[in-house]
Copies of this chain bind each other. A is one copy, B any other.
Amino acid sequence: MSLDAIKYYRSFEAGQTLIWSGDRMEFVASVVTGVATLSQVMEDGRTQTVGLLFPSDFVGRPGRDTAPYNVVATTDLLMCCFRKKPFEDLMAKTPHIAQRLLEMTLDELDAAREWLLLLGRKTAREKIASLLAIVARRDASLKMLPAAGKLVIDLPLTREAMADYLGLTLETVSRQMSALKRDGVIELEGKRHVTIPNFDRLIEEAGDDTDGGIPG
């Protein structure tokens, strides 16, 4: 038996919440197309996004059965799902899958820790530049293109979703986007379509070491 034998697909519309924090998780899944967020909400409504899910990213945790976060589609989304029990059984019999899962989890941990630095120490402008860089890198890697020179992306997030990920307000996000446009770091057509004329310049603005930040 292989993973292919137990998989099925589900699609969701932009804005839909796939999973509520505290829900029983019946499946694990990976993103096929589209983008989703993992987010945590405080009692008074303050919201922090704790992870972005791009195509190929994995959600769900074998061995635990209630969801720790809200999972929300920020674009139309297609997920490839596996019922949890068969997936766990398969994992127990196939060390390769467990190994791969450990590797992915370690990468997620690195990404989370990169984000700790961003939230704890970066300015609003650096935060925006960092987010644009991450989206551009993921987008380039999907298209099997190098993340360098001139890049064009469509932001998969509203200004509010960006704010929730960056620990800012949507007004500050909007102002800093305008400032980066004014300074020629980006060009905007509409609200979502972004041209990055010089990726290295964007990386400088992000305050990351010049060697390039998050791998993958």
Contacts and interface: CB of A to CB of B under 8 A. Distances in A.
A167 B98 CA distance: 35
Contact of A116 (B61, B110, B116): B116
Contacts of A175: none
Given A46-B121, A98-B98, 9 more contacts: A40-B116, A42-B121, A42-B209, A43-B209, A68-B113, A95-B95, A105-B106, A116-B119, A119-B119
8 contacts: A40-B114, A40-B117, A44-B207, A48-B117, A61-B106, A102-B105, A105-B105, A115-B116
Interface of A: 38, 40, 42-44, 46-48, 50-51, 61, 63-64, 68-69, 95, 98-99, 101-103, 105-106, 108-110, 112-117, 119-121, 166-167, 207, 209
Nearest to A209: B43
Contacts of A117: 40, 42, 48, 50
B112 A116 contact: yes
Nearest to A210: B43
B50 A116 contact: yes
Contacts of A109: 105, 108-109, 112
Contacts of A99: 98
Contacts of A38: 113
A133 to B, nearest CB: 15
Contacts of A116: 40, 48, 50, 112, 115-116, 119
Contact of A121 (B61, B68, B120, B167): B167
5 closest cross-chain pairs (CB), A and B: A120-B167, A119-B119, A112-B112, A50-B113, A48-B120
Contacts of A68: 110, 113
B106 A42 contact: no
Given A113-B69, A167-B120, A98 B102 contact: yes
